[in-house]
Each structure stands twice: as structure tokens, then as C-alpha cells.
């Protein structure tokens, strides 16, 4: 076994132990399949995680809907829908995946291994959805609920703000209230086949990058980038507070 193969085995063992600690002990028959990227499947006889991803998307949506209905009794349907969209978007899922080291546990093809796929937002989000499906098949809906609750635990702390207006409008109001012109959006890159592209978009305040996100359309990517810019952690890293202070003493516009 090569060093890379051993590293993958170790990363999967750590992740499997982590999942077991969340959902309970017991085998997860399709655990490795959930962590197999199509690029690896194309070079081997292994099944990729796309079918699990399809199932996991539905299970994730159900579990998050249940959680919101239980914890947000005053929210109307539109607010709940916006909250759910924010909690299950690719950026939110990928953030949890990075925290748990899922990228290190992914089996990728040789070409993908040499690139940045292991840390790409959509690759990680797809793996999270597939992992949810594998847990659902092994532990039922109760197990899936436990895992999903853990996946969305941190962003759920901001649930009230997630259900408010469109994030692009919110970000625009936020920066204009501090004396700046509206933020702009720029496509940073695009990958994938023409029929199923993935866009990477960044939102800027002047030349300052406030947030970066991916989506399967420019509109989705722009909303995700705005949401990323609005999160307290990314806002600090993007120096929004510093920019606000500068605005208060009369910035050049």
C-alpha cells in the first residue's frame, strides 16, 4: 500500500469513527461509495457517489425541514423556505465537510488528485449528501436526522437571519448604510461540461473581496457569495468592520 493509499484509509477510518459517534455504532454498507468521486470510478470498477447524492439531497431536505418546523414555530412558509435554502446550499455543506476533513477521505481519480477537486465546494457538498444517504440506508431516518442536525448545527445558530430577505439585497443595504456603493459580483471561474457548469463567483466592495462561493448557475452562486459575505466569520476576515470604520470618517467613493 502506497503512502497516499494509507492516508486515504486513515482519513476514512477517522471519519467513520466520527460519524459513528454522531449516529451510533453499526456498519454503514455504502460508506466508501459515498466517498468515491466519479473521477475515481471512471478509472476503476468502484461505484461513484452520484446515486447516493441524489437520495441524500432529498433526505437532507426532509430532515432540515423537520428541524426548522420544530425549532422555528413562528416562521411562515416563505421564511422557512429561505432558511432551508441557506442551510442546505453547497457552501454550507462544504463548510461542515471541511471541518470534518471529508476532503481527505475522498477517493479521486489521478487527474483530480493533482488538481483542487478535493477542496472544491460542490465536490464536498455532493459527498456530504451522499454520506447522509448512506447513513439513512444503514440507520434509517432517525440516524439521518442525527447526522443532519450535526451538519447544520453551526449555521442554525443564525436561523432568524437566514430566513430574512434575499442575501444580495441584505448585503447591498449593509454596505450602503456605511457610505459605500453597492457591491459588485464577478465570475471568477467556471468548470464542468456545458450542460452542467459550476460557476465560482466573488462579491466585491471596490477591490475588496467580501465573499466567494460556487453554484450551478450565476444567480445561485451570487446569492451564496452574498450569504458568505454576511456571515460573521467571513465578514471579519473580509474586514467589513474595518471598512465600516473607514466609511464613518469619510471614505473616498
Catalytic residues: 57, 129
CB 102 within 8 A of CB 128: yes
**98: phi then psi, degrees, rounded to nearest 5:** -70, -40
Retrieve residue 129's grid coordinates.
Answer: 449528501
Task: List all residues 6 or more positions away from 170 whose beta carbon is below 8 Å from its beta carbon.
Answer: 164, 226, 230
Retrieve residue 124's grid coordinates.
Answer: 464536498
> For residue 4, what are the CA distances in angstroms to 40, 101, 104, 147, 203?
14, 15, 10, 28, 36
**124: phi then psi, degrees, rounded to nearest 5:** -70, -40
User: Whole-angstrom distance between the N-terminal and C-terminal Cα of the chain?
Assistant: 59
Retrieve residue 229's grid coordinates.
Answer: 459575505
What's the DSSP call for residue 208?
Answer: E
Residue entry with cell 432551508 = 84
**129: phi then psi, degrees, rounded to nearest 5:** -60, -45
Amino acid at each position: 500500500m502506497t503512502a497516499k493509499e494509507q492516508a486515504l484509509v486513515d482519513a476514512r477510518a477517522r471519519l467513520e469513527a466520527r460519524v459513528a459517534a454522531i449516529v451510533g455504532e453499526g456498519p454503514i454498507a455504502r460508506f466508501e461509495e459515498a466517498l468515491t468521486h466519479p473521477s475515481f470510478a471512471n478509472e476503476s470498477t468502484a461505484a461513484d457517489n452520484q446515486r447516493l447524492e441524489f437520495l441524500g439531497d432529498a433526505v437532507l431536505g426532509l430532515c432540515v425541514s423537520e428541524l426548522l418546523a420544530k425549532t422555528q414555530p413562528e416562521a411562515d412558509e416563505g421564511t422557512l423556505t429561505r432558511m432551508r435554502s441557506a442551510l442546505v446550499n453547497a457552501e454550507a455543506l462544504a463548510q461542515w465537510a471541511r471541518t470534518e476533513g471529508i476532503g481527505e477521505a475522498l477517493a479521486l481519480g489521478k487527474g483530480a488528485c493533482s488538481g483542487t477537486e478535493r477542496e472544491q465546494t460542490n465536490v464536498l457538498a455532493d459527498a456530504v449528501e451522499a454520506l447522509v444517504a448512506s447513513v439513512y440506508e444503514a440507520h434509517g431516518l432517525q440516524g439521518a436526522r442525527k447526522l443532519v442536525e450535526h451538519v447544520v448545527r453551526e449555521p442554525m445558530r443564525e436561523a432568524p437571519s437566514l430566513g430574512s430577505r434575499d442575501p444580495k439585497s441584505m448585503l447591498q443595504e449593509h454596505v450602503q448604510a456605511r457610505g459605500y456603493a453597492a457591491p459588485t459580483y464577478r465570475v471568477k471561474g467556471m468548470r464542468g461540461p456545458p450542460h452542467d457548469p459550476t460557476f465560482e463567483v466573488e462579491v466585491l466592495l471596490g477591490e475588496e473581496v467580501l465573499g466567494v462561493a460556487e453554484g450551478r448557475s450565476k444567480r445561485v452562486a451570487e446569492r451564496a457569495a452574498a450569504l458568505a459575505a454576511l456571515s460573521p466569520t467571513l465578514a471579519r476576515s473580509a474586514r467589513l468592520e474595518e471598512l465600516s470604520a473607514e466609511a464613518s470618517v469619510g471614505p473616498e467613493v
